[in-house]
Amino acid sequence: MSGRDGRRSRGVYRSALTPGSNNGSRGSRGPLRNKNNVLARVGGASDSTDRDGDIDMSGSAGSGSLPRFSPYGGGRGRGRGNKHAGSMRPKNTPVELSITGYEGGTQEDLLAFLKRKAHRPIVISEIRYENGTMFFEVEHMGQAKTLQKLSGIRFAGSQLFIKIKASTMDMDSSTSEVVSTIETLRTFLTSRYVAEHKYLNLENMDGDPVIRRAKIRGIGTAGPNSNIGPAIFKLTSEMFPDVQSLSLASNKLRNLSPLTTISHFLPHIQNISLKDNSIQQYRDLDSLSGNTKLKELKELVLLGNPLRDNEVKKSGDDSSYRSEITRRFPFLKVLDQIPVGPTIQFDVSEVESVATGDTVLPASIQKGFVDSEGTNAMVTDFLTRYFNLYDNNRQALLDIYDDDSVFSYMVNVTHPPRSRRTTTKTLPDWGQYISSSRNLTRVKDLTKRTSSLNIGAIAILNALAQLPATQHPIQDQAKFCYDTWQLPQVPSGAAVIFIVLHGEFSEGLEGTERSFDRTFMISPPTPGSKAHQSGLPYVIRSDQLSVRHHVNSEAWKVDANAASTTAAIATPAAQAPCAPPQNTPVDPMLAGLNPSQQAQVGELQRNTGLNVAFSIQCLSENQWDMETAFQAFQRLKSMNVIPPEAFA
């Protein structure tokens, strides 16, 4: 946001939205500074109304059309609107609605969710589906408007968009009233726009004399049914299509639902000020946040909101607050007039840069990473054996886990983009997964987080038994991809193989297709363990499963000019004999320590360079507290009292 005067252009790290004030009257200071600190008023309206005085209230993309505009909200049933009662629909005539964004749950779950959120009796009937949209009827317009208020609410990871069929809408405000209101808003917007800076000042709308004379309530106080927000932003897009900066400071906004249509009507907006409002929680920002909205937004101001103030008071600084806001608005360059992060620069000369000019982007898709043929052979044998048992006899997996093994799973119900979907089925059922899902982005309760982490073979088998029956197409090479590598030097002395697997499976009698990601950590079995007694060359130490909607395998399809893909998972009989990862000799000094202490010794060695004996001594003399031990090491090292043999 730069003005004509070069002194006003401070670069992206100079805040374009500086603190503003009141109602935008002549001489007031808005959030954008100009040379004289005066907001120039531009006289006259710029655009005519639509032919019949209507405003297209299509809302955000996908939300459909809304009722004919009335700044006071629709359906009040009193005042001037009643003189048109003869044109209104009978009170108990069924009304049809449509809904999209429901793909994350079952129809039964969706209907129960809507009835619960409506907080009033709702009777839904005549349900049908057409081109990915669900249609249904309710008993009368009152129920329809109650459900329409829920448009934008999140269900099973997606945002619902609910609209009333246009032919059944109540027309409860006259054309003349609509035209009058539109002209009032045009006058108001004209008085608030600073063309020189492409800046629209909508601060403190309730205090503006134009708005007050017309008895129009401001954008933050008009109520959830008001169309004032969509009307203002649609008119703005018509009157000032090049607007770049928008201030909504001091409007008593408690959430951003009145601003939802900004992303539709003003998708190129670059700077927004929400200073001095009443936003209290992160979820109050959901109507504008996300990586699909406002992709050109560079600056956001949230100063003076309880959300920021409470987060700073809770944590002592604003680091967690800034991290969360920039996660929700990933395109930001400036937050609260401070750059979101330093510019990262690399000391690469121009000659060196030119030398890499033959690089072709995007890079071709390569086969999965495997560190050695021995590792690959072991992993192929493991995956084949594991999924044959998982699909046909899960109880037989008891020996492949031990008493210290850990297993958990999580469900990602977010539906993939339409371009990647490979199934036409709607509303897949996640019921058998949700109860024990350990999705830490959703599960905040500590008890639930703890109970969904399964430790020990018996607990793991019980958890696996609760999951639906599956079939993994392990013979189809194209449907799986994995990366695997071996780490031989760990404190316990045992080699460990990591496996990161992506693939798909079918589920149940209906053959519902799902995709999954799974991370295994396997190692040689402990002597005397069930796996060792059963002759298994490995045991699972850690198992993490993520289940999600089905997508195709194009993501890892190797380009024609790349090397062949990772070897297909085959039957154990087809594999050549291979040596399992071998146990490396354990240092005698570590033999008497438990696994946790062995890990601490290894970590202290890596951080200090001490040998095993002195690492054990340092930890034991500091009650095995890693931080205290490291501080003691640094103190003694600064005094030059550590003997050279401690580092041998």
Torsion of CA 199, 203, 206, 209, to 10 degrees: -50
What pLDDT shows up at residue 578?
36
Could you tell me which residue, 173 or 140, shows the higher pLDDT?
A: 140
Give residue 271's identity as a one-letter amino acid code. N
309 pLDDT more than 60: yes
Could you tell me which residue, 90 or 130, shows the higher pLDDT?
A: 130
306 pLDDT more than 90: yes
C-beta atoms surrounding 73 within 10 Å: 17
What pLDDT shows up at residue 60?
38
Question: For residue 141, which phi and psi values (nearest 5 degrees)?
Answer: -65, -30
Could you tell me which residue, 249 or 488, shows the higher pLDDT?
A: 249
350 pLDDT more than 60: no
Question: For residue 285, which phi and psi values (nearest 5 degrees)?
Answer: -95, -5
What pLDDT shows up at residue 519?
96
Query: Using 50, 70 and 90 to split pLDDT, how confident is the model at 510?
Result: confident
Contacts of 167 (CB under 8 A, 6+ apart): none
- Answer for the pair 454, 460: CB distance below 8 angstroms, yes or no: yes
What pLDDT shows up at residue 248?
94
Average pLDDT value for residue range 511-532: 88
pLDDT tens for 104-156 read: 788 888 999 999 988 889 999 989 988 888 999 998 888 988 998 888 888 88
Query: Using 50, 70 and 90 to split pLDDT, how confident is the model at 387?
Result: very high
Q: How far apart are the first and last CA of the chain?
A: 61
CA angle, 273 then 275 then 276, to 5°? 155
- Specify the range with the lowest mean pLDDT, choosing from 266-270, 485-489, 532-536: 485-489
- Answer for the pair 408, 454: CB distance below 8 angstroms, yes or no: yes
Sign of CA dihedral 510, 105, 263, 96: positive
Query: Using 50, 70 and 90 to split pLDDT, how confident is the model at 612?
Result: confident
What pLDDT shows up at residue 83?
40
Round to whole Å and give the CA distance between 133 and 101.
8
C-beta atoms surrounding 55 within 10 Å: 21
pLDDT tens for 411-426 read: 988 766 654 555 545 5
Length of the chain (residues): 648
Question: For residue 96, which phi and psi values (nearest 5 degrees)?
Answer: -95, 140
CA proximity to 394, closest of 446, 436, 457: 457
Question: Whole-number mean pLDDT of the chain?
Answer: 76
What pLDDT shows up at residue 475?
85
Contacts of 484 (CB under 8 A, 6+ apart): 368, 369, 370, 371, 375, 376, 379, 497, 498, 499, 500
- Answer for the pair 210, 188: CB distance below 8 angstroms, yes or no: yes
pTM attached to this predicted model: 0.39
What pLDDT shows up at residue 410?
93
Average pLDDT value for residue range 76-85: 40
- Answer for the pair 503, 516: CB distance below 8 angstroms, yes or no: yes
pLDDT tens for 434-487 read: 888 998 888 877 788 888 999 999 999 999 999 999 999 988 888 899 999 988
171 pLDDT more than 80: no
In 508-538, where do the E strands start and end? 512-523
- Answer for the pair 374, 579: CB distance below 8 angstroms, yes or no: yes
Round to whole Å and give the CA distance between 131 and 178.
34
How far, in Å, are 279, 399, 580, 594 from residue 405 at the CA level?
Answer: 44, 11, 19, 16
- Answer for the pair 549, 515: CB distance below 8 angstroms, yes or no: yes
Per residue, what are the HEC states of 126-178?
EEEEECCEEEEEECCHHHHHHHHCCCCCEECCEECEEEECHHHCCCCCCHHHH
CA proximity to 438, closest of 461, 420, 454: 454
Q: Which of 46-50, 69-73, 266-270, 492-496 has the highest mean pLDDT?
A: 266-270
Query: Using 50, 70 and 90 to split pLDDT, how confident is the model at 553?
Result: confident
Query: Using 50, 70 and 90 to split pLDDT, how confident is the model at 382?
Result: very high
Round to whole Å and give the CA distance between 501 and 370.
12
Domains of the chain: 95-164 (3.30.70.330), 181-345 (3.80.10.10), 368-415+430-556 (3.10.450.50), 595-646 (1.10.8.10)
- Residue at token pair 């246009």: 166
Round to whole Å and give the CA distance between 482 and 349.
37
243-255 in b/e form (b: 16+ CB < 10 A) is: bbbbbbbbbebbb
Give residue 141's identity as a one-letter amino acid code. M
**Spacing of C-alpha 15 from chain mean position:** 27
What pLDDT shows up at residue 136?
92
Average pLDDT value for residue range 619-628: 87
- Two tokens, residue 125: 């009937």
